[in-house]
Amino acid sequence: MSDPINKTKEKIEAISLEVVTIDGADISAMGKILNLLCDMEEDAEKIGRPVFSDLIYGLKNYLEKAIMGETDDFEPFELGVEHLGSIHRCIRNQEKYKDDISDILDKLGFKCSDSEQEEKCSQQDRPKFESDTEDENVSAEESAAEPNDKIEIKEDIKHPDQDMDEEDREILSGFVMESLESLEAVEVSMMDLEQDPGDIETINSIFRAFHTIKGVSAFLDLDRINMLAHRSENLLDKARSSEIRIDATVIDICLESVDLLKKLIEGVQQGMENGVSLDIGLDITSLVDRIEKIQVEADQIADKPLGEILIQKGEITPEELANALESQKKEPVKKIGQILVQEKSVDPKSVVAALRNQKKTGKRHIDLQVKVDTKKLDNLVDLTGELVIAQSMLRQNRTILATRDQQLMNNLGQLTQITTGLQTTAMSMRMVPIKNTFQKMVRLVRDLAKNSGKEVNLKMSGKDTEIDRNVVDELYEPMVHMIRNSVDHGIETPEERKKAGKDKSGEIHLMAYHQGGNIVVEISDDGRGLGKERIIEKAKVNNLITDESKISESEIYNLIFHPGFSTAKQVTNVSGRGVGMDVVKKAIEKLRGKVEINSSPGRGSTFIIKLPLTLAIIEGMLVRVGQEKYVIPALSILESLRPTKEQYSTVEGKGEMILTRGKLIPLIRLNRIFDAECDHNNPWEALIMVVEQNGNQIGLLLDELLGKEEVVIKSLGETLKDIKGIAGGAIMGDGRVGLILDMAGIWDLTMGVEN
């Protein structure tokens, strides 16, 4: 490969990157692109391919017009850059370039100076590449009729570790991350578009995502990704210009494109990590064929007279059109569509749809966003937490407490305000709306309902409720399990719902809201509800219970969280293996949250998930047992009390009990669990804090309540991370470590063996 070809490759990649990220009339970016084009002119002459040189010259002249404000349409320039990259790849691979770019040159305003140059401008008369054969270029009509002829993807055999430098790897990693995020957003937007097919803003946002993936993948030589994104972008372009109508077929094809692009891009990521090919070789031919078939059908309709469009669609016959044209001669002021409607040859909706097919509107625009590496953001939050701890230790330093220096105290007060503000800001940067997680469920419900033959609507409220990004990531899997169970077990078939006097379409409602210092997510359905009798029957078979009269309704429902527990009569491809709800419980507890169940036979079920707003800071009650300090999560606390002697009792087989609010609850001595000293052995001399775990209440024996605090959670390290009853540690203001209690672990240690 000659040096000029290498030089132009780098410049084309730089231009492509600038083009896909340029924002409006960015003169600085345009100037950078212009300089690169000027540098390429000399190299293009050495390469000796007229089509390549002409396109560079046309792009340069068009960009100069844009800089001078003579045009604001950047689309011809973008198309020209795409062809420039494609031509260059053909030059490098010694392949012929089949596309006719005369239209692109015309749009760029490229004019040949004399008859000889005019001859050269014709693609058919251009000098052939060295590897060209005598066959002529494929015409636009031929390529439209036979889309497979253009799918010539050269398998990528690059090995990243051998062929890419660190800068290239960084660009590729950025492309993978950004593209996967964009495709997730596209998936959500497609669901919105299905509900409102005429929403031009949604169509534009989907178009921009495909456009960006196409542009960046082109200069990264990811041909398969580029081709599929390009075809999908063209389809969306026709949709936003009203040349095709958004219907179930278009939605399904776009979603298939998203799924396939995700697999291809994840393949690039795997190739980088394992040092193998970036192309996993997935076949895109079938999907591309289907996309192009829709486009061809749209092209056959676009720009035709209204009457011809209606005939092609089968809405009217040629005779009806002829009669309408005769009527129009008598009343020229009337439009043909109006006459056809009056003569009842066609309904108004069909005329409106045909008129939409004639319109071609819309300009490209690319949004810019500034993104921060999540590792840097997490590091900022961690450092802010350390600053809060250091500031607290400073304020409780004995020398500081003993000082009478008012200026020092004022400075410390100001430091406290700044630290608190910084902590609040840092934490808010990690907060994201739960909207994206909610909207991912739209497609899940759509696909599950379609596969199960049920009709299910998804209603959402509180989508803008904010939650820690890390919590959102962990919440996705348990929500998927619960949605699947709601569709498979909860919602009845249309026939069953009709017999029960319900609407044939079931409804699942996702709701999120803040409650105190926590976020609450509710998943409810209007289905058949949980079968309490069947749960009891299954629990007895599995030896989970012996006598249902001794357990509460909430405890019965909580039995579904046991591993392997399932009331499904048969295993389906959706659920029934008894692994879903066990996963839900473990995932929620890992997030220091809890899940509650409410159910009513024949009316539906509601799962209530309560979670902390963030995983980095916990709000809790600081308590003391002897010389040790513990933090009890506020989410678990119900009340605290000093019992009387009469409230204390022992029950055979149950141990120590405390009577509170008419109910006996087990008494747990933390000093015995953690082998610590305590000030008071008699419960009526100490304090009891009542906490809840999975609907069960227990009383913790304490010496003193020290107050409510927000503490920064610290890991106890690999050695101590699996200690039951301990969720982590926190550095207190006096520099000592306070242990954060895990209520699920304490329950398992003390009461979990009992049924």
Q: pLDDT tens digits, residue range 716-738?
A: 766 676 677 887 888 776 677 88
- What percent of the chain lies above the pLDDT cut of 90? 5
DSSP H helical ranges for 136-247: 140-145, 160-163, 166-195, 200-219, 223-240
507 catalytically annotated? no
Q: Are 296 and 144 in contact (CB under 8 A)?
A: yes
The pLDDT tens digits of the residues spanning 114-167 come to 333 434 444 433 333 333 333 333 333 333 333 434 444 544 444 454 556 676
Q: In DSSP terms, which residues pair with 627 in a beta bridge?
A: none
The confidence score (pLDDT) of residue 356 equals 54
The one-letter amino acid at 593: G
440 in the same domain as 423: no
In the set 13, 82, 187, 233, the catalytic residue is: 233
Which of 415, 149, 401, 147 has its CA nearest to residue 292? 147
Q: Is the pLDDT of residue 565 over 80?
A: no
Residue 308 CB burial class (10 angstroms; 0-12, 13-18, ≥19): middle
How many domains does the chain divide into? 6
At 690, the pLDDT band (50, 70, 90 cuts) reads very high
Give the pLDDT score at 120: 43
CA–CA separation, 33 and 236 (whole Å): 28
Which of 74, 103, 137 marks a domain boundary? 137
Tokens linked to 85: 């990259």
* CATH number where 403 lies: 1.10.287
Task: Give a yes or no: residue 475 inside a domain.
Answer: yes
Identify the pLDDT of residue 122: 41
Angle in degrees, 0-180, between the axes of helices 3-21 and 200-219, rounded to the nearest 10: 160
Q: What is the mean pLDDT of residues 588-600?
A: 83
- pLDDT of 57 higher than 60: yes
Residue-level pLDDT at 88: 81
Q: What is the value of pTM for the model shown?
A: 0.52
618 or 206, which is more confident? 206
Report the half-sphere exposure of 447 (CA within 13 A, side-chain side). Answer: 16
Which tops the pLDDT comparison, 745 or 151? Answer: 745
User: What mean pLDDT is predicted for residues 184-200?
Assistant: 79
Domain assignment present for 27? yes
Q: Are residues 474 and 559 in the same domain?
A: yes
Is residue 152 in some structural domain?
no
Residue 755 annotated among the catalytic residues of the structure: no
CA angle, residues 478, 573, 473, in degrees to nearest 5: 20
**Around 101, how many Cα atoms within 13 Å sit in the side-chain half-sphere?**
29
HEC letters along 68-103: CCCCCCCHHHHHHHHHHHHHHHHHHHCCCCCCCCHH
Q: Read off the pLDDT of residues 381-439 as tens digits, 9 standing for 90 and up.
A: 778 878 887 887 887 788 888 888 888 888 888 888 888 888 778 777 778 888 878 87
Beta-strand ranges (E) seen in 462-499 are: 466-468
8 Å CB contact between 311 and 191: no
Number of H-type helices and E-type strands within the chain: 29, 18
pLDDT at 245 over 60: yes
Which domain CATH number covers 714?
A: 2.40.50.180
> CA 534, 536, 537, 541 torsion: positive or negative?
positive
Tokens of 215: 């542009």
On whether both 651 and 509 belong to a single domain, the answer is no
Exactly one of 83, 88, 211, 230 is catalytic; name it.
211
Average pLDDT over residues 298-322: 66
Residue 366 within any structural domain of the chain: no
Which band of pLDDT confidence, cut at 50, 70 and 90, is reported for residue 620?
confident
For residue 577, the model assigns a pLDDT of 39
User: What's the CATH code of the domain at 14?
Assistant: 1.20.120.160
297, two tokens: 């059908």
pLDDT computed for residue 200 by the predictor:
81
Q: Is residue 145 one of the residues assigned to a domain?
A: no
Q: Which of 188, 226, 194, 191 is nearest to 210 (CA)?
A: 226
**Per-residue pLDDT at 100:** 75
701 and 568 co-located in one domain: no
Q: Which residue has the higher pLDDT, 545 or 622?
A: 622
Task: Looking at the structure, tell me whether residues 443 and 572 fall in a common domain.
Answer: yes
Tell me if 526 is assigned to some domain: yes
One domain, residues 575 and 628? no
pLDDT mean over 231-240: 82
State the average pLDDT over residues 5-23: 74
* Angle formed at CA 554 by CA 550 and CA 558, multiple of 5 degrees: 100
| 557 contacts 597 by C-beta, under 8 angstroms | yes
**Same-domain status, 307 and 342:** yes
Q: Residue 256 pLDDT more than 80?
A: yes
Query: Which residues have C-beta within 8 Å of that of residue 310, sequence separation ≥ 6?
Result: 316, 321, 340, 346, 350, 351, 354
The pair phi, psi for residue 244, each rounded to 5°, is -130, 155
Active site annotation includes 45? no
Q: State whether residue 460 is helix, strand or coil.
A: strand
Shared domain for 256 and 340, answered yes or no, is: no
The domain boundary residue, chosen from 282, 299, 316: 299
Residue 621 sits in the same domain as residue 740: yes
pLDDT value of residue 699: 92
Q: How confident is the model at residue 688 (pLDDT cuts 50, 70, 90)?
A: very high
Residue 368 lies in a domain: no
Mean pLDDT, residues 284-291: 84
Q: Residue 690 corresponds to which tokens in the numbers above?
A: 């009542």
Residues 492 and 351 in one domain: no
Q: Which has the minimum average pLDDT: 91-95, 213-217, 308-312?
A: 308-312
Q: Which residues of 161-173 are buried (b: 16+ CB within 10 A; e: fewer)?
A: eeebeeeeeebbe
Residues 7 and 74 both lie in one domain: yes
Residue 35 lies in domain: 3-137
What pLDDT score was predicted for residue 125? 37
**Does a structural domain hold residue 364?**
no
What does the alpha-carbon distance between residue 342 and residue 319 come to, in Å, rounded to a whole number?
16
- End-of-domain residue from the set 612, 630, 657: 612
Per-residue pLDDT reduced to its tens digit, 477-500: 888 888 888 888 889 998 989 988
Q: Exposure pattern of 695-712 as b/e (b: 16+ CB <10 Å)? A: bbbbbbbbbeebeebebb
Average pLDDT, the chain: 76
Q: Does the pLDDT at position 194 exceed 50?
A: yes
pLDDT digits (tens, 9 = 90+) for 316-364: 777 777 777 777 766 665 676 677 777 777 776 666 666 655 544 333 3
Statement to judge: residues 193 and 283 lie in one domain:
yes
Q: Do β-strands 655-660 and 648-651 pair in parallel, antiparallel, or remain unpaired?
A: antiparallel
pLDDT confidence band for 475 (50 / 70 / 90): confident
CA–CA distance, 725 with 702 (Å, rounded to integer) = 16
